[in-house]
A and B are shown apart, each in its own frame.
Chain A
Amino acid sequence: MLSTLQPPRSLSHFRTNPTLLLRYTSLKTLSSLSSQPVTHSTLTDQPCSPNPLPHSQILSTRHSLLSRHLTATQLADSFLARLRLTEPHLRSFLHVSDSVLAQARELDEKIQRNEELGPLAGVLVAVKDNICTAEMPSTAGSRVLEGYTPPYDATAVRKIKELGGIVVGKTNLDEFGMGSTTEGSAFQVTANPWDVSRVPGGSSGGSAAAVSARQCMVSLGSDTGGSVRQPASFCGVVGLKPTYGRVSRFGLMAYASSLDVIGCFGTSVADAGILLQAISGHDRLDATSSKREVPDLAAEFVSISSTISKPLKGLRIGLIRETLDGGVDTGVTSAVRSAALHLEELGCSITEVSLPSFSLGLPAYYILASSESSSNLSRYDGVRYGSHVAADELNSQYKDSRAKGFGSEVKRRILTGTYALSAGYYDAYYKRAQQVRTIIRKSFKAALDEHDILISPAAPSAAYKIGEKKNDPLAMYAGDIMTVNVNLAGLPALVLPCGFVEGGSAGLPVGLQMIGAAFDEGKLLKVGHIFEQTLQNCNFVPPLIADELTS
C-alpha cells in the first residue's frame, strides 16, 4: 500500500556514506538518552532495501564509538573529507573549526580510558553563524560583525559541548536571519546540494545544506519566520522549530526577539529530536525561556512493528485548507496530499481545517519582525565591536558604520520597522499587527483543540534558482506564508521531507510541515518518526554527495 504514496517519478537510488550505512542496522544496545532501547523500524533491518530509511546518525555514532567499531577521529576525518570535497560547490560554511580532529582525538582518549561519554559524544554539529561561539567568529552573515568573535558561547552551544558534541563550524545565512534564500549573506551565496544552481532556502540555508550534504551530522539554525523549516524543505532534511521559550535564546543574535527560536536540523526525525532534547530547558540568562520541564523526547522514537498496520490510530490531523490554495505549486500540493494519505494509512483521521486569519500572518509578521529588528540592530553602531568606521563626529560614526556594515535587506527592514514604530504610525501598524497576532494565536489554539496536529506544506514551492527572487523582496516574503503564522503563535513545528517535485538532476525535495500545540514537540517527533520510517522508496540523499561517492 505504501508504494501508492510514491511520487510518479522513479527516483535515483543513491548510496550514502558506507561508514554510516553499515552501522545503522543494529542499534539495540543504545542509548543513554532513552530508558528503553531505541530500535528502528524493522524495515531498516532489511539490508538489501534499495532505499534505506532515515536513521539516527547520533545514535549510530554513539554505537560505533562504544562498540569501538570506529573512532571519533575516523568519524571526524570522514566528515571533514566530505566537507572539503563539497564545500567548493556549496559554500555552506563561513568558518570551519580547526580543532575538530583535536577534539575527536581527546574523545578517543576518553573512550580508551573507559570514561563516561556524553550523549552527543563525537556528534559533529554545525552552528548557524548568528549563534555565538566563543572560539569561532560569529558574524550573523553581516559586514558589521566581520571578524567578531564573541567572548562567550550561546547557551545552546554550551549545552552541546557539555554533552560531548563537536562544533564543526559556522554556517552561512541571510544577514541577521533576514531572508529566505541565504543570498542575503554579506559574504557568500550557498548552493542547494540537490541542484547547485538553486538556493538552499533561508535564512538557515548553510545549516540545512550542510546537513543535507552530510558535511556534519546535525546543525543548529534559527527560526523567526520559517528560517529552519523552509530551508529544511528545500534541502530535503528534517527541520524542527521548537515552541517559543523551549530553547534559550541567550547567545542568539536577536532579529525579532518575540519570534526568534533556535531550531535543529537532522537527516532523521530522531536526530532533530535528540538535538532538541540536548539544548532545551530553562536558562536564567533568558527571561523568556520556559521553566517547563523537558520531557524525554527520545522516548518518542519507539520501534514500529511491521505487524501494527496502524501505529497512529486515533490521531486527529487537520490539513490547513488555506495552505493548499492558489499560489502553491501543484507539485507541492500533491506531495502534501500524498503525505496526508500516508498518514491516513497509518491510522490518522484527516480533516481539512480552515484558519481564516492565515493570510493575515504575513503582513503582521513583517511589521512585527521589522519593528523588533529596528530596535535589536541599533546596538550595531561601530562603537564597541564589529566593523568600525572612523569618524570625527559621533553621528557620522554611527551613520558610516551602519551604512557600510548593513546590507540592503537589513536596511529595508530597519527602515520598515522604524516607520512602523514611529509616533503617529504605531497604532496603525505595530499595534494592529499585535492584534492580528492575538487573533492568529487564538485560531491556532481553537484548531489544535480539535486536532492533535495540523499539517501544511513547508513552503509554497521547492527550491528556486539562485537570483530568481533576489530583486523581488515581496515575492521572497510571500514564500514565508506557510511558516510565519507558527512563529506568531509561538508553536512548535516539524518539517520533514515527504516527496519530490521535478527539478535538478534528481528531483527536488518537498517538505511537510506538522504543527503541534505549545510544548508538544514530543507528539510531533513521534508522528514524524513513524512517518519517515514508513515512507518507502524516498531517499533524501542529494545527488551532490552521491556523485562524490560514486566518482
Chain B
Amino acid sequence: MASTIFRSLHTNPCLLHTTALLRRKDVILYCTMRSAQTRTAATQDKVKPQVKVAPNIQNKTLEKASKDYEAVIGIETHVQLNTLTKAFCSCPYNYGSLPNTSVCPVCMGLPGALPVLNMKVIESAVKVGLSLNCKLSFNSKFDRKQYFYPDLPKGYQISQFDVPIATGGYIDVDLPLEYGGGHRKFGITRVHMEEDAGKLLHSEGGSYSQESTFPFILLNQRCSTSYKAGVPLLEIVSEPDMRTGIEAAEYAAELQRLVRYLGVSNGNMQEGSLRCDVNISVRPIGHIEFGTKVEIKNLNSFSSVSRAIDYEISRQVLLHSQGEDQEIVQETRLWEEGAQKTVTMRKKEGLADYRYFPEPDLPGVFLTQDYVDGIRNTLPELPETKRRRYEKMGLSMQDVLFLANDVNVAEFFDTTITKGADVKLATNWIMGDIAAYMKNEKLTINEIKLSPQELAELIASIKDGTISGKIGKEIVDPAEIEKMVEKVVSENPKQLEQYRGGKTKLQGYFAGQVMKLSKGKANPGVLNKILLEKLNAKS
C-alpha cells in the first residue's frame, strides 16, 4: 500500500548506488541523478507483494469460496498522545537513583493519590474529533472501567463510557495505486479519552512489580526510572466499514498521517504509540447479519494489519465453506509475525461486566464553542485536503500520495512551491534525488541541508538555462566514469607506456585529464579506483 511503500524511504535497498551530498552552503547541489528518469523511492518498491497468505490455506477451494463471502472489519485504534511524553507526572528523572527508591504516588496508584486531567489531552481529543468530522460532546465526563489485573494499579481504568468526547464522524482514504487505487470513506463511531494500562514486569521472585501509567496526572513527586510516567490515549473506534486487509491497513495509515499532521502523537506502530485491534467477521455475500466476530491483537505494522486480516478472512471463509462455521467463536486472537498466522489468545466467556460508573475524582469535561472554534481555526491542512489540492495542481495520484504521506515532506514541497518553483520539477526533485539522498543518509527531510528556498532557486536556474540540468551534479556512476577513463587512456598511449614503465606519478596526469573531460564533476574516489584498474590492467 502506498503508505508502507512511501514509509520505506528509510529502508528501501534499491537506492544504494546514490551517494549524494546536499549542502546548504555550497549553493551547487551535487547529485548523481538524471532528474526525471529515476523516480526511485516512490516507485521501485511497489512490485513487492505485500500480502502473503499462508500456503496451507491458500488453495483453490478457498479461492473459489472467497468469491462467495465478504469480510466485515472494524478497527479500534489506540493513539498515545505525546502531551508530555517523558514526564507526564513531572517526575524528574534521576538517572543516578536506584529504581523504586522514589516513586510518584499517583503512578503507583498509592492510597490517597488522585488523578488530575492534563488539559492537553482534551485539546488533542478535540483536534482529532474535529479532523475526523465528528460531532463533539460539549458536556462529557470520565468513567471508571473496573477489572482486576495487575496492569491496573488502581483496579480500574479511567476511560469514557457513555458520553465520549466525539462521535459519528468519517475519514477519507485513498487506496494505494498498486492495489487498484480508489477513494473510500470509512465511518468513525467514536473517539474517547482514556489512560493507558501499565505494563507488568514479572520479577524473578514471582512477585509483581509495575511499570505503571497514570496519564491524567500532573504531579511534582519524583518517579524512579522504572516507573515510567504514562501517556494518555485516544481510542478511535471505526464503523465496520472495511472489507479487505488493504482497506484496513490504509485506514490505519491514514489515522497515523492524521495524528502526525495534527502533532498529537508520533503515531509510531513499532513503539506502540499507535495500536490497532481489528474486529473481523465473515458472512456470505448478500447476508445482512454479521458473522461471529473475532478480535486480532498484536499488530505492529500496517502490513501486519493487512496480512493478519487476509489470513483471518481465509481462515474464516475456509471454515464457512466447509460448513464448520460454528468453529468460529468470539475470541481474541494474536497475530504471530513469525508464523504469519493468528492464534487463539483467549476466548470470551459472555460479556465482561466492567461496572462502569462516573469517575468521581475528575470533574466533567465542559467545552465551550469559543474553545472549539479556537482549535478549529488552528487546525493544519489535513492529509485529505492536501491530496485533493495536489490533485488539482495537476500532480499524478502517484505524486499526490507520495508527497502528502509525510507531513514534513508535504511542508517542504509546499514551501518550495511558495518560493516560486515549478510544481512538476519540484515534485521530481523531492521524489527523486532528495528522497534517494534521505534514504541513503538515513535523514528526514528536515535534517537535510537543502532548504526549500534553495531548491526553488536551483529549479529556477535550471529552468531558465543558467545551469543545465546536469550541472551541479557530481558524477559517481562508474559506467560513465569508466567511459571517460577509457577515452583518456586511449588518447594518451605515450603516457600510458611511461606509467606502465614505472612512472606511476603519471596517475595524477590521467586523473586530471579525466576530471577535465568530466568538467570537474567526476567523483574523485570512483575516478581513481577505475583509473588504477585501467592503468594496471594487462592489456
Most-contacted residue by chain B among A132, A384, A421 (CB, 10 A):
A384
Give the Cβ gap from B122 to chain A, nearest Cβ, in Å.
12
Instruction: Judge whether A379 and B109 touch: CB under 8 Å.
Output: yes
**Complex Cα–Cα for A154 and B113 (A):** 9
Q: Residue A250 at the B interface, CB < 8 A?
A: yes
B148 close to A379 (CB less than 8 A): no
Contact status of A378 and B153, CB under 8 A, knowing A372-B360, A421-B355, A422-B353: no
Any B CB within 8 A of the CB of A83? no
State whether A249 touches B110 (Cβ < 8 A).
no
CB within 8 Å for A287 and B102 given contacts A140-B111, A257-B360, A383-B210: no
With a CB–CB cut-off of 8 A, which chain B residues contact A394? Answer: 150, 208
- Return chain B residues, CB-CB under 8 Å to A422: 353, 355
Besides A148-B111, A150-B110, A395-B148, 17 other CB < 8 A contacts? A132-B111, A138-B112, A152-B110, A152-B221, A249-B114, A250-B114, A257-B360, A285-B114, A287-B361, A287-B363, A288-B114, A288-B362, A375-B156, A378-B156, A384-B110, A421-B146, A423-B351
Using A151-B103, A383-B208 as known contacts, say yes or no to A138 and B355 having CB atoms under 8 A apart. no
**Nearest residue in A to B109 (C-beta to C-beta)?**
A379
A398-B148 contact given A252-B112, A379-B153, A383-B208, CB 8 Å threshold: yes
17 A-B contacts, Cβ less than 8 Å apart? A132-B112, A145-B111, A150-B111, A249-B112, A254-B112, A285-B106, A285-B114, A286-B116, A288-B362, A374-B355, A377-B155, A378-B155, A378-B156, A379-B155, A381-B150, A384-B110, A426-B355
- Count B-side interface residues using an 8 Å CB cutoff: 37
Q: Are A287 and B153 in contact (CB under 8 A)?
A: no
Identity of the chain A residue whose Cβ is nearest the Cβ of B220 in the assembled complex: A285
B351 contact set on A, CB distance < 8 A: 423
State in angstroms the CA–CA spacing of A385 and B154 once bound together: 12
Q: Are B360 and A284 in contact (CB under 8 A)?
A: no
Residues of B79-109 whose CB lies within 8 A of A: 102-103, 105-106, 108-109
Expressed in whole angstroms, the Cα–Cα distance for A378 and B150 within the complex equals: 11
What residues of A have a CB within 8 angstroms of the CB of B110 in the complex?
A: 150-152, 384-385
Q: How far is the CB of A429 from chain B (nearest CB, A)?
A: 11
A378 touches B146 (CB 8 A): yes
Tell me how far the C-beta of A383 lies from the nearest C-beta in chain B, rounded to whole angstroms: 5
Q: Are A375 and B362 in contact (CB under 8 A)?
A: no
Determine which of A145, A286, A371, A430 lies in contact with B114 in the assembled complex, contact meaning CB atoms within 8 Å. Answer: A286
Q: A251 CB to closest chain B CB, in angstroms?
A: 4
- Report B502 CB to chain A, min CB distance, Å: 82
Complex interface: chain A residues within 8 A of B146 (CB)? 375, 378, 421
The interface residues of chain A lying within 8 Å CB-to-CB of B206 are: 392
Q: Which residue of A lies closest to B216 (CB)?
A: A287
- In the assembled complex, the CB of A389 is this many whole angstroms from the nearest CB of chain B, namely 12
Give the residues in chain A near B168, CB-CB below 8 Å.
Answer: none
Which among A253, A284, A372 is the interface contact of B111 at CB below 8 angstroms?
A: A253
Contact of A287 among B111, B115, B155, B357 (CB under 8 A): B115
A333 within 8 A of B: no
Partner of A150, one of B102, B105, B114, B363: B105
Q: How far is the CB of B387 from chain A (nearest CB, A)?
A: 41
| Residues of chain A with a CB closer than 8 A to B506's CB | none
**A284 to B216 alpha-carbon distance, docked (Å):** 12
Nearest Cβ on chain B to A245's Cβ, whole angstroms: 9
Tell me whether B192 is interfacial, beta carbon within 8 Å.
no
Does residue A536 face the partner (Cβ distance < 8 Å to B)?
A: no
Task: Please give me the residue from chain B that is nearest to A152 by CB atom.
Answer: B105
Q: Are B115 and A423 in contact (CB under 8 A)?
A: no
Q: Which residues of B355-385 are within 8 A (CB) of A?
A: 355-357, 360-363
B471 near A: Cβ within 8 Å?
no
Query: Which of B102, B154, B353, B361 is packed against the most chain A CB atoms within 10 Å?
Result: B361
* Contact (Cβ within 8 A) A251 B363: no
User: How far does the alpha carbon of A418 sit from the alpha carbon of B354 in the complex, in Å?
Assistant: 10
Q: A378-B148, A378-B155, A384-B109 are in contact. Are A287 and B355 (CB under 8 A)?
A: no
A5-37 residues with Cβ-Cβ distance < 8 A to B are none
B334 at interface (Cβ–Cβ under 8 A)?
no
- For residue B218, which residue of chain A has the nearest CB? A284
* Max chain A Cβ within 10 angstroms of own Cβ: one of B105, B113, B356: B113
Q: Which of A378-403 contact B (CB under 8 A)?
A: 378-381, 383-385, 392, 394-395, 398
User: Majority SS of interface residues in chain B?
Assistant: loop
Closest-CB distance, A375 to chain B (whole angstroms): 5
Q: In the assembled complex, which residues on chain A have CB atoms less than 8 Å from the CB atom of B208?
A: 383, 394
CA distance A418 to B353 in the complex (A): 10
Flag whether A78 is at the interface (Cβ < 8 A). Answer: no
| Interface residues as binary, A108-152 with B (CB distance below 8 Å gives 1, 0 otherwise) | 000000000000000000000001100000101000010010111
Complex Cα distance A331/B34, Å?
Answer: 104
Q: Does A258 contact B (CB under 8 A)?
A: yes
CB neighbours of A148 from chain B (8 A): 111
Over the window 202-238 of chain B, the binary record of Cβ atoms lying under 8 Å from chain A Cβ atoms (1 yes, 0 no) is: 0000101010000000110100000000000000000
Distance A253 CA – B206 CA, assembled complex (angstroms):
28
Question: Which residues on A sit within 8 Å (CB–CB) of B156?
Answer: 375, 378
- Asked whether B148 lies within 8 Å of A381 as measured between CB atoms, the reply is yes
Q: Are A378 and B103 in contact (CB under 8 A)?
A: no
Give Cα distance in the complex from A398 to B155, angstroms.
11
Contact A288–B108 (Cβ < 8 Å): no
**CB–CB A151/B363 < 8 A:** no
CB < 8 Å neighbour of B150 from A131, A138, A383, A430: A383
B155 near A375 with CB under 8 A, answer: yes
Q: What are the 6 tightest A-B residue pairs by CB atom distance, in nearest-first order? A: A378-B155, A257-B360, A258-B360, A421-B355, A251-B112, A253-B111
A518 smallest CB distance to B (angstroms): 15
CB-CB < 8 A to A383: which residues of B? 150, 208, 210
Q: A379-B153, A383-B208 are in contact. Are A287 and B112 (CB under 8 A)?
A: no
What chain A residues lie within 8 Å of B353 (beta carbons)? 422-423
B residues 137-162 touching A (CB-CB < 8 Å) = 144, 146, 148, 150, 153-156
B117 on interface, CB distance cutoff 8 Å: yes
Q: Report how far A131 CA is from B113 CA in the complex, Å.
A: 11
Whether A287 touches B154, Cβ cut-off 8 Å, given contacts A379-B109, A383-B208, is no
Which of chain A's residues have a CB closer than 8 A to the CB of B155?
Answer: 375, 377-379, 381
B10 CB → nearest A CB, Å = 41
Whole-angstrom CA separation of A131 from B153 in the bound complex: 20
Q: Closest approach, in angstroms, between the C-beta of A8 and any C-beta of chain B?
A: 46
State the CA gap A123–B418 with chains docked (Å).
Answer: 71
Q: Are A151 and B116 in contact (CB under 8 A)?
A: no
Give the nearest-CB partner of B116 in chain A: A287
- Which of chain B's residues has its CB closest to A250's CB? B114
CB A244 to nearest CB in B, in angstroms, measures: 10
Residues of A close to B117: CB separation below 8 A: 287
Q: Are B153 and A384 in contact (CB under 8 A)?
A: yes
Q: How far is the CB of B105 from chain A (nearest CB, A)?
A: 5
In the bound complex, residues from chain B placing their C-beta under 8 Å from that of A150 are 105, 110-112
Which one of A284, A372, A384, A395 lies within 8 Å of B116 (CB-CB)?
A: A284
Give the docked Cα–Cα distance between A392 and B353 (Å). Answer: 26
Pick the contact of A151: B102, B109, B210 (CB < 8 A). Answer: B102
Expressed in whole angstroms, the Cα–Cα distance for A286 and B112 within the complex equals 10
B431 to chain A, nearest CB (A): 49
Q: Which residue of A lies closest to B362 (CB)?
A: A287
User: Whole-angstrom distance from the CB of B193 to the nearest CB of chain A?
Assistant: 14
Chain B nearest CB, measured from A27 CB (Å) = 36
Given the complex, which residues of A lie within 8 Å of B210, measured CB to CB? 383-384
Q: Is the CB of B112 within 8 A of A288?
A: no
B11 → chain A closest CB, angstroms: 40
B152 to chain A, nearest CB (A): 8
Contact flags A158-175 to B (C-beta < 8 A → 1, else 0): 000000000000000000
Q: Which B residues touch A392, using CB under 8 A?
A: 206
A154 touching B111, Cβ below 8 Å: no
| A250 and B113 form a contact (CB under 8 A) | yes
Which of chain B's residues have a CB closer than 8 A to the CB of A379?
Answer: 109, 111, 153-155
Expressed in whole angstroms, the minimum distance between the Cβ of B106 and any Cβ of chain A is 8
Separation of A286 and B116 alpha carbons in the complex (Å): 7
